[in-house]
Amino acid sequence: MYVILFYDIADRSLKERDNSRRIRKAVEKYLSRVQFSVFEGEIRESDLKKLKAYLRKHVHKELDSIVIYESTKVSYTDRIVIGIDKNETLFS
């Protein structure tokens, strides 16, 4: 399965506990970083299920936003980069 995930984590001053590092580390365990808060890559369905469960547990639902696009195959997507491709190796 191919996934594009991006998040917008609220500023730590708005929360009791800063969760941004925890969320970033969890996502980096499974996907490659494309931009500051954008990740993509192939992932097993079982790992995606684990990642989603972890994110649901650690996200502040009233303040944070995580969006995941899922595709059965990377070949079903077109990837267009304008400027520097920060993740060239993923598609070489």
For the four alpha carbons of 13, 15, 17 and 19, in that order, the dihedral sign comes to: negative
Is 11 marked as a binding-site residue? no
Interacting residues of 19 by C-beta distance below 8 A, sequence separation 6+: 9, 58, 59, 60, 64
Q: How far is residue 63 CA from its own chain's centroid?
A: 17
CA–CA separation, 12 vs 82, rounded Å? 32
Per the annotation, binding residues for Mg(2+) are 8
Per the annotation, binding residues are 8
